[in-house]
Amino acid sequence: MITVDKLTKQFGDFFAVNGLTFTVEPGEILGFLGPNGAGKSTTMKMLTGFLQPSSGSVSVMGFDVLKTPVEAKRLIGYLPEGAPAYADMTVLDSLRFVGKVRGFSGSDLNTRIQETVDKVALNSVLNKRVETLSKGFQRRLGLAQAILHDPQVLILDEPTDGLDPNQKHQVRELIQNLSKDKIVIVSTHILEEVSAVCTRAMILSDGAIKFDGTPEDLAAKSVYHNSIHVHVAERHSELKAKLIQLPRVSKVNELSEGALQVLSENKDSILSDVNAVLHSGSYQIDELHVEQGKLDDVFRTMTSKEVNS
């Protein structure tokens, strides 16, 4: 378990992280969301013991990161922002270095490196120097360095940044395939990533938590949650007029010729109501679906005020 208590980081007058308190249980995949400068990286740096907090505490599986940093760091695998690696070393040497520091040696070290290299598909560049690698390979080397010791706690700062869609998919699968009793914390500003891999989402803005819940809860915050998208071949103005009369419908938008977006008043399901109207009028329906809500909108409404002020 990770316990974060009133964690604060101050740079001069500026609070990069302001009194964060939360816990993460084994089995959770926590996604950190937030605009640039929200304090995601700063928080991760404090969780991993790299940055000294101004106040507050972090404990990882019972080890206080400030008082027993080496013990805590042993349990953590960390991919820092930008996936730094020694430019003048080869991929294999880099992994050997990290493995040896973590106490592996001999054949144990070799098997571990081989397994990790297979997982992140680094085989083709093992003997290349890091400075010659593409961004995608560098990111994967960073991941390999983080997961080499099969850590209890994995902290990844923007793991999919700079990867192509296939590689992104690969990394997401990798995260999901970690065994179920691990703790994973991922930061990202790709919102679909949160719904794709995370069991819990946390939105940070101005160093404080703006939202903490499941990705589904987050989607439910959207004004478009449970809204209905319907596309009819003809008589759409007439349909629009009928739909707006429904008691639980707050608004009907006409997105394009024949495409209507029906917003739910209280964000409950209005499918049956809309369906009744469609049936009674015998409309020819080209398309009909219920929207879960756009994370983008929720994200913007939760964080934009702070950005603008």
Partner 1 sequence: MNALKVVLGRELSSYFATPVAYIFLVIFLMLSGVFTFYIGQFFERGQADLVAFFNFVPWLYLVLIPAVTMRLWSEERRSGTIELLMTLPLATWQVVLGKFLAAWLFVGLALVLTFPLWITVNYLGSPDNGVILGAYIGAWLMSGGFLAVGSCLSALSKNQIVAFILTLVVSFVLVVTGFPIVQDAFSGWAPLWLIDAVANLSFLTHFTAISRGVIDVRDLVYFAAMIGIWLYATSLVVDLKKAD
Residues 123-152 vs partner 1: string with x where CB under 8 A? ----------------------x-------
Amino acid type, 306 = E
Is 130 strand, coil or helix?
Answer: helix
Interface residue with partner 1, options 62, 84, 213, 281 (CB under 8 A): 84
By CB under 8 A, is residue 86 in contact with partner 1?
Answer: yes
* Rg value, the chain, Cα: 24
* Alpha helices for the chain (secondary structure H): 40-47, 69-75, 91-101, 106-120, 135-147, 165-177, 191-197, 215-220, 236-245, 271-280, 295-308
Phi, psi of 33 (to 5 degrees): -115, 160
Among 34, 56, 78, 221, binds partner 1 (CB under 8 A): 78
DSSP letter, residue 217: H
Note every long-range contact of 247-254, with CB atoms under 8 Å and residues 24 or more positions apart, other chains counting. Answer: 248/273, 249/273, 249/274
Out of 8, 19, 51, 66, the only residue in the binding site for partner 1 (CB under 8 A) is 51
- Please tell me the distance from the alpha carbon of residue 1 to that of residue 26, in angstroms, as a whole number: 6
> In this complex, which beta carbon is closest to partner 1, that of residue 87 or of residue 233?
87
For the CA atoms of 87, 137, 108, 176, the dihedral, rounded to the nearest 10 degrees, stands at: 140
Least distance to partner 1, CB of residue 24, Å: 18
Nearest to partner 1 of 129, 294 (CB atom): 129
Of 60, 76, 204, 274, which lies in the binding site for partner 1, with binding defined by CB under 8 A? 76
- Select 51 or 271, whichever has its Cβ closest to partner 1: 51
Convert residues 56-75 into a mask of x (bound to partner 1 by CB under 8 A) and - (unbound): -------------xxx-xx-
Residue 74 CB, nearest approach to partner 1 (Å): 4
Q: At what angle do helices 135-147 and 106-120 cross, to 10 degrees?
A: 140
Q: Which of 83, 177, 156 is nearest to 122 (CA)?
A: 83
Q: Which of 85, 133, 202, 270 binds partner 1 (CB under 8 A)?
A: 85
| Size of residue set near partner 1 by CB under 8 A | 29
- What is the distance between the alpha carbons of residues 138 and 275, in angstroms, rounded to a whole number? 52
Q: Does 283 bind partner 1 (CB under 8 A)?
A: no
Stretch that binds partner 1, among 17-25, 27-35, 46-54, 202-210 (CB under 8 A): 46-54
83 or 249: CB nearest partner 1 = 83
**Which residues would be at the binding site for partner 1 (CB under 8 A)?**
45, 48-52, 69-71, 73-74, 76, 78, 80, 82, 84-89, 93, 97-98, 100-103, 145
